[in-house]
Structure 1
Amino acid sequence: MATNEVLTTIKKRRSIRSFKADQITAEELQTVLEAGIYAPSAGNQQLWHFTVIQDKQLLERLNVSAKAGAARIDDEHIQKIAKNEKFNIYYGAPTVVLISGKEDGMAIEADCAAATQNILLAAESIGLGACWVNLTLFALGGEQGEQYKQQLGVPAGYKSFSSVALGYKKIEVVNAPTRKENVINYV
């Protein structure tokens, strides 16, 4: 089977849930953001917006609000992690990138998912750890949601779809879980 640097990065990337406290460099941050900007978008509209959060106090407030919102969801697994006082939705990452998109975009949820994946792959390619975190959406959809959106500079008419925790890996994950079989159909 063919292989190259991109395919190796795709197969090597894992969700990292243990970060060092050290902040990533401005150059590393720009590299992953540029990868997000170069994601495909419907009609090449590029209707996304990226918010970089590096304020520890704000990240902790988002963590608390997200867990409060998640605790009200009718899902046993979500409730369990939401009620765990020691659990941090960002796993201690020093940087979080919030990915939002213009609500009336042609296929904005897919566009933002593509940008998120590009950010994840770029992070892995330069040795950073990253984790796709959807729990942030509970904070933005909660009682303080509008305040958070204003504080974060999310443009009017934009909806947040995901966030990515970024930082230096505490440990290197090496083994990929076995991939499911029989997920391809040829016609």
Structure 2
Amino acid sequence: MEVLQAIQKRQSVRKFKAQDIPDEDIRKLIEAAGLAPSGKNCQNWHFVVIKNRQLMQKIADTILEKNEKIALKLEKVDEEKASRFRKFAKNFTVFYLNAPVLILTYAKDYVPSGYDEYHLIQAPKQLGDNLFQKNPGMQGIGAALENLTLRAIDLGYGVCWLTSQNYAADEIEALVKEETALEKENYYLTTMLALGVPESDLKSPRKKDAEDIYTLIK
């Protein structure tokens, strides 16, 4: 498949066929992710690939449990928002449970160029903090996930890139550590990817035209 075809075919897939993904194909996706650029070649990513249905369900339960704790407190302030928040969590947890694979993406902090130098010359703290706003470490994670996504499309799979669960990231990390004994010091959960063979004729929202998203300076 041509690169442009893969880009055009990319969409957030929320309906998957009941079809397994071979381990060798998963390795190909991870290899593609690992080829992404990262600041100072730090390669600050780690991927946890889950096929275990029980663990996927436990992750969903963990998200819903954290969601309910927040919603109960939110009810005291705004009942309508609490109701929407509950529905929101069910929408993005229930659908991924029909995917054959769930990929958790972990990241490690990256200290931006200039941060230590600012500190040494005793520059105002705000200058150093502003460097983290650009978040070069997370830019590398995004590049890796886009590589993975496009390779998945090339192999006939579909992906949904999920960040909505991050308010329960600490609880998910603790669960995965308990279930798998995963030890990745200084790494933290950033995204989840639902992966599988997509159902046909899925709809996608319209993207902005090029004229709306760029400025050409000659």
| In structure 1, C-alpha distance between the alignment counterparts of 2:163 and 2:36, rounded to whole Å | 19
In the other structure, the counterpart of 2:215 is 185
TM-superposed deviation, 1:136: 4.0
User: Does 86-95 or 29-38 show the bigger shift?
Assistant: 86-95
Instruction: Pick the aligned partner of 2:189 from 160, 163, 167.
Output: 160
Alignment partner of 1:92 is 2:113: no
The alpha-carbon deviation at position 20 of structure 1 amounts to 1.7
CA contact (8 A) 1:67 1:135 kept: no
Unpaired runs of 5+ residues, structure 1, are none
- Please give the residue correspondences for 1:46-125 in structure 2 after superposition, counting only pairs within 5 Å: 46-71=43-68, 72=70, 78-83=85-90, 88-104=94-110, 106=112, 107-125=136-154
Shift of 1:150: 4.6
Distance across 2 between alignment mates of 1:145 and 1:111: 21
Partner residue, 1:19: 16
Contact 2:104 2:189 (8 Å CA) reproduced: yes
175 and 56 in structure 1: CA distance in 2 versus 1, 3 angstrom threshold? closer
Query: 3-state DSSP class of the match of 2:94?
Result: coil
Q: Is the 8 A contact 1:96 1:166 kept in 2?
A: yes
Amino acid of the structure 2 residue aligned with 1:13 = R
Task: Determine the C-alpha separation between the residues in 2 that align with 1:48 and 1:105.
Answer: 15
Partner letter of residue 63 of structure 2? A
In the alignment, what sits opposite 1:151? 179
* TM-score relative to the length of structure 1: 0.83
d(CA) in 1 for partners of 2:39 and 2:93? 36
1:86-116 deviations in Å (ceiling 9; x for gaps): 9515151111111111234543211111111
Number of aligned residue pairs: give it. Answer: 182
User: Which amino acid is 1:118 matched to?
Assistant: N
* Runs (4+) off by over 4 Å: 73-78
